[in-house]
Structure 1
Amino acid sequence: MYTQTDLDDAVAAGALSAEAAAALRAHIEAQRHTLVVDEEQFRLLTGFNDIFVAIASAILLFAVAWIGQRAGMALGLAIEGEGPSPLAGAAVAATAWGLATYFTGRRRMALPSILLLLAFVAGVFTAAGFALVLMLGAARIEDSPQVAGLLAAVAGAVAAGAAWLHWRRFRVPITVAAGAASVVAIALGLLVAALGNAENMRDIVLGFMLLLGVGTFLVAMRWDSSDRARLTRRSDVAFWLHLLAAPMIVHPVFTLLGLNDGQATLGEGFVVILLYIVLGIAALAIDRRALLVSALAYVLWALTELFKQFGAVELSVALTALVIGSALLLLSAFWNQARAAVVRPLPEGLQGRLPLIDRVVSPQPAA
């Protein structure tokens, strides 16, 4: 499997002419009856060996985490004697970096690179967090939300620095999203520390998460607008940022509106469906399906409750799946036409920042 970035790398290396690469892209578009830009491509697998290496890496990481945990307990470096040890996270992070030097740096394997990046950042985050808990004492943190928030912020800062180092070394597209998630952890930790035991903490945190989600979305759009034809690594970076931003936007909106309390009224059900339509229009405009996927659970629940209230109790789940599945498949089949209908009426300045809806493929240098 070859991605657009692979073709651009081949052009940059002189293995393929720019004209041949453009002709190949045009041929693929003609075969699939869709533009490359609307495929929302990102590389997950280069072959079954990716799955093989990912499984083997996961087993090895589990093993070193277990060994690190037992070593921490033996050395007295576990929380309250038998709790989590920072050595487990440190062992995972060190092993993930070492594996990445070969499978990411030399072999350029997609799925193992994603797994190893996530393991590295998560390992650094947990190692830093548990080390801080060990230094301060678990009892002190349990009694003080402010201290817990500050510790989360410090651990997030360490993880963000680790993600930056990983990006500088390996340039895995998901790394930027992992760094953004670490920054979100910093911000939420500082907010919790500032709020203390405020009665309305839940709503404030959800509202702040919504703002952070919107900020992440804007960062993703900045990456997207720098590669409107989606031919370089910048588009892959934007994909992962959108995947991070979508639940941060969708979940707080539905929760703050009281739409996920487990019982939907007729009005709430229609509100969920209306919001999903709005999200669908936004997803079409930016040509990213992550918004639709993130809100899917809410709309499935809302439609199920609506069918129950209209008397179709036994078939509510089946009818919901039928309606949503058919609608999403139709949208996928006519995605290009639907995008054109949404984007063309927009102002030219805004269109200039969105992915192209029709264009002649032109070769770009890899980034």
Structure 2
Amino acid sequence: MTELKQILDDAAREGIMPTQTIDRLLPFLVARGVKVDMPSAVARPGEVPFSDTETPSFVRGFHDVLITIGIVVALAGLWGLASTYAVLPAIVVLAEILVRRQRLALPAVVLSLALAAWTAVMSASWVGSGFTSMNLGGSDTLQFTLAFPIVMGLFYLVYRVPLSLALSIMGAAVVLLQLVLRSLAWLSGDPLFELNHPGVLSIIAIVCAVGLFALAMSFDLKDPMRRTVSSDVAFWLHLGAAPALLYSVLSLPGLTGGTLSVLQTMSARTPLVVATVVALMLIGLIIDRRAFVTSGLLSLGFALYGIFRRGDASIDTYVFITLLTVGVIVLIIGTGWMPLRRFVMRRLPEGMQVRLPPA
């Protein structure tokens, strides 16, 4: 039934038949014993049952790209000419046409991102604070973040876009972090608890990041062959979990200054940075998610760039050694991904191997 539903969903995305027809056709075919034999979906020893390129399902053709360009340009023009409130109806109308009826994947992603941006701007205006003036455990930040899981969750319930569900889950994780910090501030009587106890903040952030990664893995394990919406949701959650893990772990050694303090002393932290990159690579190999690795590395690059922009961070030999080492690791693992993954998978327990994507 899973393969049959996937085929019908593909037909809906291509515009061959409307979703309403598929919702009625699927139980009709199943009731009459219609099945689809897909031998390639069954993993056999020595065979690769699915593509190992990890192509995102929202990348399908230039038709989607052309429409996406039109969406971006039109929304940008509307945002500049009309009130911010006018952008939301435009997003809904476009979603009704392009997502609900035509089932176009890339436009659905862009509309989800546009809705997230609109939510951020409107939340900041309603709270009445700028982005830079919000404290992590402050009431303004909590009110600002509360809107994301609600708005993106409603968008997912209506249009079933995997990215919107992932954004809703990540928003809920941030809200949970805010609630924990506010509770600790109330119990300790210290309104600036997160600033005065950065070590505790780092530990709480690590717990939230690990929880987000575990949730991403729960979606991944539901679909090891990467054919259903669960895999798409896991893809976006991994993109958020990797930088969350990276920043929270790197903030631990600098208990008095956070991530910035850690990376400003690169000569002392080179082993830490390299070990973090290797750990991200190893996790990515095991779960077969290049997106997880790429997101973590991009986050590390942005962190280094932000520090180099500050005048007090000297670019010395240790920095270049770190960059060279990380670059070599990326090239080695990137070019030999599948052989390295087979090597790693053979050393895992058999019970774990059968639940992960085949190598």
2:241 pairs, out of 235, 238, 245, with 245
- What is the CA-CA distance between 1:186 and the residue it aligns to? 1.6
Q: Name the counterpart of 1:78.
A: none
| SS of the residue 2:348 aligns to | coil
Structure 1 residues 154 and 96: alpha-carbon distance in aligned structure 2, compared to 1, 3 A threshold: same
Please tell me the residue identity of whatever aligns with 2:266.
A
- What is the CA-CA distance between 1:117 and the residue it aligns to? 0.9
Please tell me the residue identity of whatever aligns with 1:18.
V
Contact kept, 8 Å, 2:239 with 2:291, in 1: the verdict is yes
1:309 pairs, out of 302, 305, 317, with 317
- What is the CA-CA distance between 1:224 and the residue it aligns to? 0.6
| SS of the residue 1:257 aligns to | coil
> Number of matched residues?
312
Identity of aligned residues (%): 25
Contact kept, 8 Å, 1:65 with 1:92, in 2: the verdict is yes
1:13-162 correspondence to structure 2 within 5 Å: 18-19=36-37, 21-22=38-39, 35-36=49-50, 38-69=52-83, 88=84, 90-133=85-128, 149-162=138-151
Please tell me the residue identity of whatever aligns with 1:226.
K
- What is the CA-CA distance between 1:235 and the residue it aligns to? 0.7
- What is the CA-CA distance between 1:5 and the residue it aligns to? 8.7
Q: Deviation digits for residues 220-278 of structure 1, max 9, x if unmatched?
A: 1111111112121211111111111111111121132247432312x521232123222
| SS of the residue 1:156 aligns to | helix
RMSD of the TM alignment (CA)?
3.9
1:165 pairs, out of 154, 157, 160, with 154
Q: Deviation digits for residues 114-166 of structure 1, max 9, x if unmatched?
A: 11012123323432442243xxxx69xx7x959x8334333433331222221
Q: Structure 1: any 5+ residue segments left out of the alignment?
A: 70-87, 358-367
Q: Name the counterpart of 1:364.
A: none
- What is the CA-CA distance between 1:35 and the residue it aligns to? 4.8
TM-score scaled by length of structure 1: 0.71
| SS of the residue 1:104 aligns to | helix
- What is the CA-CA distance between 1:109 and the residue it aligns to? 1.9
Q: Name the counterpart of 1:351.
A: 353
2:230 maps to 1:234: yes
- What is the CA-CA distance between 1:54 and the residue it aligns to? 1.9
Please tell me the residue identity of whatever aligns with 1:216.
L
Contact kept, 8 Å, 1:149 with 1:188, in 2: the verdict is no
Counterpart-to-counterpart distance in 1, 2:200 and 2:341 = 35
| SS of the residue 1:36 aligns to | coil
Contact kept, 8 Å, 1:145 with 1:193, in 2: the verdict is no
Q: Name the counterpart of 2:176.
A: 187
Please tell me the residue identity of whatever aligns with 1:123.
W
Please tell me the residue identity of whatever aligns with 1:356.
P
1:256 pairs, out of 231, 252, 259, with 252
| SS of the residue 2:266 aligns to | coil
Please tell me the residue identity of whatever aligns with 1:197.
L
| SS of the residue 1:38 aligns to | coil
- What is the CA-CA distance between 1:284 and the residue it aligns to? 1.0
Contact kept, 8 Å, 1:93 with 1:121, in 2: the verdict is no
Counterpart-to-counterpart distance in 2, 1:281 and 1:159 = 32
Please tell me the residue identity of whatever aligns with 1:157.
L
- What is the CA-CA distance between 1:292 and the residue it aligns to? 2.3
Counterpart-to-counterpart distance in 1, 2:52 and 2:245 = 23
Counterpart-to-counterpart distance in 2, 1:262 and 1:271 = 13
Structure 1 residues 9 and 110: alpha-carbon distance in aligned structure 2, compared to 1, 3 A threshold: closer
Counterpart-to-counterpart distance in 1, 2:108 and 2:148 = 17
- What is the CA-CA distance between 1:183 and the residue it aligns to? 0.8
Contact kept, 8 Å, 1:164 with 1:179, in 2: the verdict is yes
Counterpart-to-counterpart distance in 1, 2:96 and 2:138 = 34
| SS of the residue 1:105 aligns to | helix
Counterpart-to-counterpart distance in 2, 1:132 and 1:327 = 44
Q: Name the counterpart of 2:19.
A: none
Contact kept, 8 Å, 2:277 with 2:326, in 1: the verdict is no
- What is the CA-CA distance between 1:191 and the residue it aligns to? 4.4
Identify which of structures 1 and 2 has the higher relative contact order when contacts are C-alpha pairs closer than 8 Å and 6+ apart.
Answer: 1
Q: Name the counterpart of 1:212.
A: 208
| SS of the residue 1:261 aligns to | helix
2:316 maps to 1:333: no
| SS of the residue 1:18 aligns to | coil
- What is the CA-CA distance between 1:330 and the residue it aligns to? 3.5
Contact kept, 8 Å, 1:210 with 1:252, in 2: the verdict is yes
TM-score scaled by length of structure 2: 0.72
Q: Name the counterpart of 2:16.
A: none
Bigger drift between 204-213 and 106-115 goes to: 204-213
